[in-house]
């Protein structure tokens, strides 16, 4: 029974992450994205930490394949497996997940909101640093770095709103599912599997 319960929980967690990752095709606001939230959610609920890192990154990559080759395909001359500079964004998602592992030892509303704010700040700092480091838009100087961070300020609102919205959807949705399907809750022994 325990293995079936763990498989059901893993499947539902993975499905929620995949659904949110693929919802990126309907972005109403620039940078309004589920990607930070899925890292936080994975960190909070996967009992095996390798799953907390790998499932959100896999969902991100699969949704990137769809976006880059179908939605934005006209901007690329060939099939895109990884877009230029992807490692800065993916690195930020991995760091967000790592932070989530420490933040979500206990899950409550304050930690979810704090995690969403931390996620937005981490993404802003790392992604803008990556834009500056590419050397394509800003000179490789301190003033260039400052200019890059200033230019990124308008986009942090969309990132924060996306992290808050999707964290609410995922954490709230899973809490409702746990109340509906109590077997989704793991006890201490089951968390080791």
Report pLDDT digits (tens) over 24-71.
888 767 789 999 999 999 999 998 999 999 999 999 999 999 989 988
Rounded to the nearest integer, the mean pLDDT of the chain is 91
User: What is the percentage of the chain residues whose pLDDT exceeds 90?
Assistant: 77
- Within 13 Å and on the Cβ side, how many CA atoms surround 135? 1
Domain extent, residue 47, equals 2-192
| Residues 31 and 163 sit within 8 Å (Cβ to Cβ) | no
Residue 177 structure tokens? 């599912």
**Is the pLDDT confidence value at 193 over 60?**
no
User: What is the percentage of the chain residues whose pLDDT exceeds 70?
Assistant: 95
Strands (E), the chain: none
Average pLDDT over residues 115-137: 96
Identify the band that residue 107 occupies on the pLDDT scale cut at 50, 70 and 90.
Answer: very high
| Residues 105 and 42 sit within 8 Å (Cβ to Cβ) | no
Residue 18 burial (CB count, 10 A): 17
Residue 64 structure tokens? 């990137």
Q: What total number of domains does the chain contain?
A: 1
Q: Quick one: pLDDT at residue 192?
A: 45
Q: Quick one: pLDDT at residue 73?
A: 83
Average pLDDT over residues 170-185: 92
CATH number of the domain enclosing 184: 1.10.1760
**Is the pLDDT confidence value at 1 over 80?**
no
Identify the band that residue 112 occupies on the pLDDT scale cut at 50, 70 and 90.
Answer: very high
User: Whole-prediction pTM value?
Assistant: 0.90
Q: Quick one: pLDDT at residue 187?
A: 61
Rounded distance between C-alpha atoms, residue 118 and residue 101, angstroms: 13
């Amino acid at each position: 029974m325990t293995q079936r319960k763990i498989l059901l929980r893993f499947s539902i967690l993975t499905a929620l992450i995949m659904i949110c990752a693929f919802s990126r095709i309907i972005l109403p606001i620039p940078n309004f994205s589920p990607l930070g939230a899925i890292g936080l959610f994975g960190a909070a609920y996967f009992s095996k930490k390798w799953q907390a890192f790998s499932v959100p990154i896999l969902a991100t990559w699969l949704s990137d394949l769809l976006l880059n080759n179908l939605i934005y395909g006209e901007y690329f001359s060939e099939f895109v497996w990884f877009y230029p500079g992807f490692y800065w964004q993916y690195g930020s998602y991995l760091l967000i997940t790592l932070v989530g592992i420490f933040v979500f030892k206990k899950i409550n509303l304050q930690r979810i909101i704090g995690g969403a704010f931390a996620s937005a700040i981490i993404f802003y700092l790392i992604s803008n640093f990556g834009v500056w480091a590419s050397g394509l838009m800003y000179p490789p100087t301190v003033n260039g770095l400052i200019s890059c961070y200033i230019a990124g300020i308008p986009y942090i609102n969309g990132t924060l709103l996306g992290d808050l919205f999707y964290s609410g959807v995922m954490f709230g949705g899973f809490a409702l599912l746990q109340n509906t399907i109590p077997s989704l809750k793991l006890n201490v022994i089951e968390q080791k599997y």
